[in-house]
Amino acid sequence: MAKFLRRVTVVDTGDGGGSTQTLLKRKGGKRKRVSRWLRPAERVVRQYGKAQSKCWSESDKRHDKSRGKKRDRWITDSLSNNLKSVNKSCRVLRKI
């Protein structure tokens, strides 16, 4: 099968209506190319990036919620909001 083809589909237009059948289907996406001895390190780096992203998004969400409560409530809630968002990101890191 040529590289540019992803699948081969046969369409039957007989008396009973059209029916399709997929003959060959190629997997999508490229293979990850990482050395065997670097795979654990790459996995840790990926998970750390996900945890950081989770921490910042959670912190931003909590800040917006606190800002909407009262006038300067975000200042008093900042410590607890940051601790809660860091705790959530640590849960993501535990899955390594």
Tokens of 35: 């050395």
Residue 8's pLDDT is what?
A: 73
pLDDT digits (tens, 9 = 90+) for 23-68: 666 666 677 788 889 988 988 898 999 889 988 999 999 988 888 8
Rounded Cα distance, 77 and 48, in Å: 26
Give the three-state DSSP class for 12. strand
Closest CA to 42 of 90, 50, 77, 94: 50
Q: Which amino acid is at 10?
A: V
Domain boundaries, the chain: 39-96
Mean of the per-residue pLDDT values of the chain: 81
Q: What is the pTM of this model?
A: 0.58
Rounded Cα distance, 82 and 74, in Å: 11
